[in-house]
Amino acid sequence: MVAKKQNKKRKFKLNKKHVMIYVLIGICVYTLYVAFMIVKKPTETFTIEEGEIYQEETDVGYIIRSEQIIKGENYANGMEKIKVEGEKTAKDESVFRYYSKNEEKLKEQIADLDSKIQDVMTSDVGTYSSDMKIIENQIDEKVAQIRNTVDVSKMEEDKKEISELVTKKAKIAGDLSPKGSYLNQLIAERSKYEAELNSGAEYIKAPSSGIVSYRVDGLEDKLTPNNFSELNKDYLEKLNLKTGKIVATSEESGKIIDAFTCYIATITDTEEAKNAKVGDKVTIRLSNNAEVDAQIVHIADQENKDRLIILQFNEQISELTNYRKISFDLIWWKYKGLKVPNQSIIRENDLDYVVRNKARIFG
pLDDT digits (tens, 9 = 90+) for 238-270: 999 999 999 999 999 999 999 999 999 999 999
pLDDT at res. 118: 74
pLDDT of 137 above 90: no
Name the packing angle between helices 152-176 and 180-200 (round to 10°): 160
For the chain, report the end-to-end CA distance as a whole number of angstroms: 60
Domain locations in the chain as residue ranges: 1-42, 56-70+214-339, 100-200
- What does the longest C-alpha to C-alpha distance in the chain come to? 156
Strand partners of residue 262: 313
d(CA 29, CA 23): 10
Per residue in 68-123, pLDDT (tens digit) is 999 999 888 888 899 999 999 999 999 998 887 777 777 777 788 777 777 766 66
Q: Kindly report the CATH number that applies to the domain delimited by 56-70+214-339.
A: 2.40.30.170
Residue 36 pLDDT level (bands cut at 50, 70, 90): low
Got the DSSP string for 131-173? HHHHHHHHHHHHHHHHHT---HHHHHHHHHHHHHHHHHHHHHH
Amino acid letter, 336: K
pLDDT digits over 202-237, tens only? 899 999 999 999 999 999 999 999 999 999 999 999
The pair phi, psi for residue 289, each rounded to 5°, is 70, 10
